[in-house]
Amino acid sequence: MPSKYANTFYEPLTEDVEEFLGCFQHADSVRLVRFTALWKNARFSDVFLGIASMSEMRRFCRVAMATAVKYFLPPYCYQVRVGGLYLMHAFYYTQPAVPRVQIRLALRDWEDVQKFLRDSIACGHLDVVFVYRKLVAAKAVDYTAMPHLLVFQRPKKAKVQEMCAGMLARANGVQELLTEDYLEELSNVQNHYYKIKNELVEVRLQATITHADFASRLKDTLNEFHVWQQKTFKQTNDACKDEAKPTEQEDCRSRAALLASIKMRGYEQSLCDSKSRKSCQEEAEDSYRSFPKQQAPDKREKPLSLRARTWKTLGKNTEKSELHSWLLSAPDQEGVPLRRKNSQERYKQEKEGYVHLS
């Protein structure tokens, strides 16, 4: 039986983790104390119960660590990534495996992790940095070339895990580009430009190529875009939640349509194959008829006898001769005498004649 963790992730565990991180996200906090309270309230450490075999326990621990690392990396939002880090910490210290299973972190994700730590330090979330450095100090993080174990008989195309839309990070490139410092610097440059223009230009022109309140207007446009983005993102999430899963009847219909299409393609293929076989058979029969028939060798013809082969070897003709074998001295066949009678017949005739004379 194939392992149920063959695709690295376990679907029931993934559903529970998403539900738990959703509760942590609704708490609007990234503090470790808040996460610990939710962890104890949900009794999430019970996911390791019910596994008797230690080998199966280690496989499940690897799956749990991989699931936590999945939510610790992009493209999830900052709060969900913090929850993923706390899950890594909680899973590592509550696992019953001996020795403890390490957390696999690929080298390709090193830059994302370092940027996450820098952002945490800049925002003052020191408990996030403390948890990560505690895991590193305990040698719980194993920096590897690949995020998962490389084993034989792994499918070529791994199963794609669907991402929860409510946990993804929003596109905030505009907010990162137009910061408060940038707008302040832009306003200072514009004021300096007007000051130089008024001092150097003798004839003041009423026409101008810039707006006097360019920085303030840009800030108002940025705020409007941010409000629109939040509103649109909320509507998208509500629409995703409202979309129910397809009903059982629709699933049956789609499955029936799929089976019908597969059967139709199979019937057309078999029909084409039968036609091609029939045409090939007819061509073979025509080609066979076009060739002239060869006479089969006579199997009843007997081989030459030893006498005939001997005469043939000696160079004599084995054909039937018109000469009689008992007349070896006769050169021709014109006056062929009669064959001598047997001595017994002659003796019988002489005896009959003697009796007749007496």
Compute how many other C-beta atoms are within 10 angstroms of the C-beta atom of residue 131: 19
3-state secondary structure 210-255: CCCCHHHHHHHHHHHHHHHHHHHHHHHHHHHHHCCCCCHHHHHHHH
165 and 237 Cβ atoms separated by less than 8 Å = yes
Q: Is 67 exposed, middle or buried (0-12, 13-18, 19+ CB in 10 A)?
A: buried
Spell out the residues 6+ positions from residue 216 whose beta carbon is closer than 8 angstroms to its own: 187
Higher confidence at residue 315 or residue 81?
81
pLDDT tens-digit map of 107-149: 999 999 999 999 999 999 999 999 999 999 999 999 998 888 8
Q: How confident is the model at residue 285 (pLDDT cuts 50, 70, 90)?
A: low
167 and 84 Cβ atoms separated by less than 8 Å = no
What's the confidence (pLDDT) of residue 68? Answer: 94
Backbone angles phi, psi at 142, to 5 degrees: -110, 110
pLDDT tens-digit map of 300-311: 677 888 888 888
What's the confidence (pLDDT) of residue 307? Answer: 83
Q: Does the pLDDT of residue 170 top 70, yes or no?
A: no
pTM value surpassing 0.75: no
Q: Return the sign of the alpha-carbon dihedral for residues 26, 32, 38, 43.
A: positive
pLDDT tens-digit map of 202-241: 555 555 666 767 777 777 777 777 777 777 656 555 554 5
Mean pLDDT of the chain: 75
Q: What span, in angstroms and rounded, lies between the C-alpha atoms of 15 and 164?
A: 10
